[in-house]
Chain A
Amino acid sequence: MKFDRYDTEGFYDELFTPDGHPRPGAELVVRRINNLPEQELQRRQLAAEKALLNLGITFNVYSNEAQTEKIFPFDIVPRIVQANEWTRLEEGLRQRIQALNAFIHDVYNKQQIIKDGIIPADLVFSADGYRKPCIGLNPIHGVWCHITGTDLVRAADGEFYVLEDNLRCPSGVSYVLENRLIMKRTFPMVFDSCSVQPVTDYPSRLLDMLQEMAPHGLRSPTVAVWTPGIYNSAYFEHSFLAQQMGVQLVEGNDLIVRRGEVMMRTTKGLERVDVIYRRIDDDFMDPKVFRADSMLGVPGLMEAFSKGNVALANAPGTGVADDKAVYAYVPEIIRYYLNEDPIINNVPTYACWREEDRAYVLEHLDELVVKAVNESGGYGMLIGPHATQAEREEFRRRIQAKPRTYIAQPTLALSRVPVLVDDHFEGRHVDLRPYILYGKDSIYVLPGGLTRVALKKGSLVVNSSQGGGSKDTWVLNSQGGPSPESTLAGKEGLSC
């Protein structure tokens, strides 16, 4: 199988230039694939899928009762990011997270940005992720959003834009690690000669960060990952991260608050928990403070948190900053707190609660993507050019009824990558979700991230719940030489 018939069809392609040559850094992979014997790539693709299934690297789907676990579709052709591009993205992400964290802290404390008129008060307080009980909280080291997974896209102009800030419980990082493992098994030779930055130390970095958050300066705190349970769609990831860090994986029923401290039920009685990486929504954490009907929560948790007896990653209330309406103000937020221009831009955004924006949106529904501000996973969305007249009219009605809940953006021609389709390659649209850890003294950006692929031909929706798959993302080292990743490859074997 060869790339010689592959057509970029006028889209920005991550692997090929418009005239069909491999981009710098991609030559080796392209040559390697071109030189594989007939059927070999398909064979490796199947082997990779089989490995994922046997490893049980699956996510849960609720629609189909009989088949509740599926592998997250995986495409064997890697996505490659140049070293210089990455350096800039890394800087931009650090900048953005720093500003957003400052914003969250401000919103729940002095509210200076609102007083200074940078962002309207009602917009902040009506955000779906705004949590009144968080007012006055002061998490350790002033960090609220410890773990972020920012969604980036590359448009036709070749520039990266931020599409969404996921500041609550972003998922997907386990696929980054597992995809890399599978790729190292599949193309060991390429790793030897390319210089790909390693991702394998993410769990160690995450653990270091979590331990640094320990209350009362504890030296060896008890850290736990809190999962809603095995029926949660991201359960695999929760258990994977707990395993890789060697910490407890707990469910709500394992935890109980006693004298303002969080304890877990063990075979030898109660033991204190100091740091919790929670993978459960704010709403379900503590029925005394948030949703009273939560069966998953731990009564008294927020009290323990506000007393500083337990650390939570992420802190509750961070959702206020990834609201799609607040998103429109992020460039201003960056300028306000850091006095810098944004390094990575937002996708131009029309806010339907502004009269002139709304008028424009209503007139251009056939060109725009309209998004409900409090929906995620690719739901509650209108892709104007692909929609029917009836669907557009439905959104017109909704926007007029509740302008605060809608934003609109131009339909971007997302960049594409080749994927294996039967016996040839076709271009498919992708996004990129890098993961960022906000530690005590520094912000770490995992070199790589999750490249999600809209596997349906022509589709722009990359979400796994809607037919999306993933690819390994290779961030190249700026200097040549063998990849540090390849030296790890042999040692790891099946242990990941």
Chain B
Amino acid sequence: MLSRVANAIYWLNRYIERAENVARFIDANYHLTLDIPESADDQWQPLINTTGDHELFKDLYGEATRENAIEFLAFDRNNFNSIYSCVRAARENARSIREYISSEMWEQLNTFYLMMNTAARESSLDLPHQFFVDIMNASHTFIGITESTMTHGEGWNFGRLGRMLERADKTSRIVDVKYFILLPSVDYVGSPYDNILWAALLRSASAFEMYRKRFGRIDPQNIIDFLLLNRDFPRSIHFCLATAMKAMNLITGSEQGTYANKAEQELGRLMAEFQYASLDEIFDRGLHEYLDNTQLRINEVGNAIHKVFFNMDVDT
């Protein structure tokens, strides 16, 4: 397939996934602050840190409040990672490969964008929850339509690769930021708030119910285990990397456990680390350091994908 098309479908899926994650982060946080109003002011800045755009935010808004945080994360056009910007970029990418994706995918994404555009024009959000649910639903619908209308070939795998790398990155970021705010809040330990706060982290990764089924009691270590290392939960980092690896193998034609290029090698190595990791080792090394390193390496995989597939040097 054309490199440009592969690039567009990869990013299209990353952007949709990013929009969905930001929507879920905001929604979970919003609910949390309604449960514990006195914590409200402390909860928004960390969320902005999650996205890595805190400096831009500081320049534009200064101190974080609920209103300006939602504005920045959801609607601000100056923020390239706002939900608005992501959906717009996703749609722009889709537009450039309309002939390649199925028309069902295009039509859903276009409708999604128009819905988003209308919401962005309305100044006050009376029902923020509904809006964020709509965003998440639209993303799930898109994935479902993609699944059932597009040939599961090279392009589909590039899309899946992009989505899974994005999701792994986002899960690692939300865990990184939230874990360290939640941990020292000893005031809350044993209080009803304790459960609420940790549950909010799980909800940010849409993991609350599935976690309950697996571990039952809310326990920080188990939560980390679940979000990082679980093999079967679709938002755990391990699951995301393993699925990304499957997509990569199908793209290159490499057999499982082998690699044909730098991108595949890097991704395989990172996945293997999660495959054979233990919680004790992760905490020994330091959770923050471990997650930081993971994000860095996901970035490197992304760069290698660009070099190998999208921007191949053919001029020599």
Q: Using CB atoms and an 8 Å cutoff, list the residues of chain A in contact with chain B.
A: 53-56, 225, 229-230, 235-236, 239-243, 248-251, 253-254, 256, 264-267, 269-270, 494-496
Per the 8 Å Cβ criterion, residues 257-316 of B in contact with A are: 309-310, 312, 314
A267 and B309 in contact (CB under 8 A), knowing A54-B110, A254-B4, A494-B107?
yes
Decide if B99 is an interface residue (CB 8 Å cutoff): yes
Decide if B254 is an interface residue (CB 8 Å cutoff): no
Q: Which residue of B lies closest to A271 (CB)?
A: B2
Contact of B107 among A55, A241, A249 (CB under 8 A): A55
Pairwise interchain contact B100-A249, C-beta atoms closer than 8 A: yes
Contact of B114 among A54, A248, A494 (CB under 8 A): A54
Q: Which residue of B lies closest to A248 (CB)?
A: B2
Per the 8 Å Cβ criterion, residues 195-248 of B in contact with A are: none
Decide if B95 is an interface residue (CB 8 Å cutoff): yes
Q: Which residues on B sit within 8 Å (CB–CB) of A494?
A: 103-104, 107
Pairwise interchain contact A265-B103, C-beta atoms closer than 8 A: no
Contact of A265 among B99, B154, B314 (CB under 8 A): B314
Pairwise interchain contact B2-A265, C-beta atoms closer than 8 A: yes
A55 and B110 in contact (CB under 8 A), knowing A265-B312, A265-B314, A266-B3?
yes
Decide if B185 is an interface residue (CB 8 Å cutoff): no
Q: Which residues on B sit within 8 Å (CB–CB) of A248?
A: 2
How far in angstroms is the closest Cβ of chain B from A189? 25
Pairwise interchain contact B107-A56, C-beta atoms closer than 8 A: yes
Decide if B106 is an interface residue (CB 8 Å cutoff): yes
How far in angstroms is the closest Cβ of chain A from B12? 13
Q: Which residues on B sit within 8 Å (CB–CB) of A55?
A: 103, 107, 110
Q: How far is the CA of A12 from the CA of B307 in the complex (A)?
A: 63
Q: Which residues on B sit within 8 Å (CB–CB) of A496?
A: 103
Pairwise interchain contact A239-B104, C-beta atoms closer than 8 A: no
Q: Which residues on A sit within 8 Å (CB–CB) of B3?
A: 254, 265-267
Q: Using CB atoms and an 8 Å cutoff, list the residues of chain B in contact with chain A.
A: 1-4, 6, 92, 95-100, 103-104, 106-107, 110-111, 114, 154, 158, 251, 309-310, 312, 314
A249 and B6 in contact (CB under 8 A), knowing A53-B114, A54-B110?
no
Q: Which residue of B lies closest to A55 (CB)?
A: B107
How far in angstroms is the closest Cβ of chain A from B97? 8
29 CB contacts below 8 A, A to B, read A53-B114, A54-B107, A54-B111, A54-B114, A55-B103, A55-B107, A55-B110, A56-B98, A230-B92, A239-B98, A239-B99, A240-B99, A241-B99, A242-B99, A249-B99, A249-B100, A250-B2, A254-B4, A256-B314, A265-B312, A265-B314, A266-B1, A266-B2, A267-B251, A267-B310, A269-B312, A494-B107, A495-B103, A496-B103
Q: Which residues on A sit within 8 Å (CB–CB) of B98?
A: 56, 236, 239-240, 243
Pairwise interchain contact A243-B6, C-beta atoms closer than 8 A: no
Pairwise interchain contact B314-A269, C-beta atoms closer than 8 A: yes
Q: Which residues on B sit within 8 Å (CB–CB) of A266?
A: 1-3
Q: How far is the CA of A229 from the CA of B312 in the complex (A)?
A: 21
Q: How far is the CA of A6 from the CA of B151 in the complex (A)?
A: 51
Q: How far is the CA of A496 from the CA of B98 in the complex (A)?
A: 12
Pairwise interchain contact A267-B154, C-beta atoms closer than 8 A: yes
Q: How far is the CA of A496 from the CA of B104 in the complex (A)?
A: 10
Pairwise interchain contact B92-A56, C-beta atoms closer than 8 A: no
> Which of A56, A229, A265, A269 gathers most chain B CB within 10 Å?
A56
Q: Which residues on A sit within 8 Å (CB–CB) of B111?
A: 54
How far in angstroms is the closest Cβ of chain B from A175? 16
How far in angstroms is the closest Cβ of chain B from A389? 45
How far in angstroms is the closest Cβ of chain A from B156? 13
Q: Which residue of A lies closest to B315 (CB)?
A: A256
How far in angstroms is the closest Cβ of chain B from A457? 30
Q: Which residues on B sit within 8 Å (CB–CB) of A264?
A: 2
Q: Which residue of B lies closest to A242 (CB)?
A: B99
Q: How far is the CA of A243 from the CA of B98 in the complex (A)?
A: 7
7 A-B pairs with least C-beta separation = A243-B99, A242-B99, A239-B98, A56-B110, A239-B99, A267-B309, A249-B99
Beyond the given pairs A230-B96, A254-B3, 17 more chain A to chain B contacts, judged by CB atoms under 8 angstroms and listed by A's residue number, are A53-B114, A54-B107, A54-B110, A55-B110, A56-B107, A225-B99, A230-B92, A239-B99, A240-B99, A241-B99, A243-B100, A243-B103, A251-B4, A266-B2, A266-B3, A267-B312, A270-B314
Q: Which residues on A sit within 8 Å (CB–CB) of B158?
A: 267
Q: Which residues on A sit within 8 Å (CB–CB) of B97?
A: 249
Q: Which residues on B sit within 8 Å (CB–CB) of A495?
A: 103
Q: Which residue of A lies closest to B101 (CB)?
A: A243
Q: Which residue of B lies closest to A270 (CB)?
A: B314
How far in angstroms is the closest Cβ of chain B from A280? 16
Q: Which residue of A lies closest to B309 (CB)?
A: A267
Q: How far is the CA of A269 from the CA of B309 in the complex (A)?
A: 9
Q: How far is the CA of A240 from the CA of B96 in the complex (A)?
A: 11
Q: Which residues on B sit within 8 Å (CB–CB) of A242?
A: 99
Q: How far is the CA of A253 from the CA of B97 in the complex (A)?
A: 15
Pairwise interchain contact A230-B103, C-beta atoms closer than 8 A: no
How far in angstroms is the closest Cβ of chain B from A275? 16
> Which of B99, B103, B114, B314 gathers most chain A CB within 10 Å?
B99
How far in angstroms is the closest Cβ of chain A from B153? 12
Q: Which residue of A lies closest to B113 (CB)?
A: A56
Q: Which residue of B lies closest to A224 (CB)?
A: B2
> Which of A251, A267, A496 gathers most chain B CB within 10 Å?
A267
Q: Which residues on A sit within 8 Å (CB–CB) of B110?
A: 54-56
Pairwise interchain contact A56-B95, C-beta atoms closer than 8 A: yes
Q: How far is the CA of A315 from the CA of B309 in the complex (A)?
A: 33
> Which of B2, B312, B314 gathers most chain A CB within 10 Å?
B2
Q: Which residues on A sit within 8 Å (CB–CB) of B103?
A: 55, 243, 494-496
Pairwise interchain contact A56-B99, C-beta atoms closer than 8 A: no
How far in angstroms is the closest Cβ of chain B from A249? 5
Q: How far is the CA of A236 from the CA of B99 in the complex (A)?
A: 9
How far in angstroms is the closest Cβ of chain B from A316? 24
> Which of A240, A253, A254, A266 gathers most chain B CB within 10 Å?
A266
Q: How far is the CA of A55 from the CA of B103 in the complex (A)?
A: 8
Q: Which residue of B lies closest to A250 (CB)?
A: B2
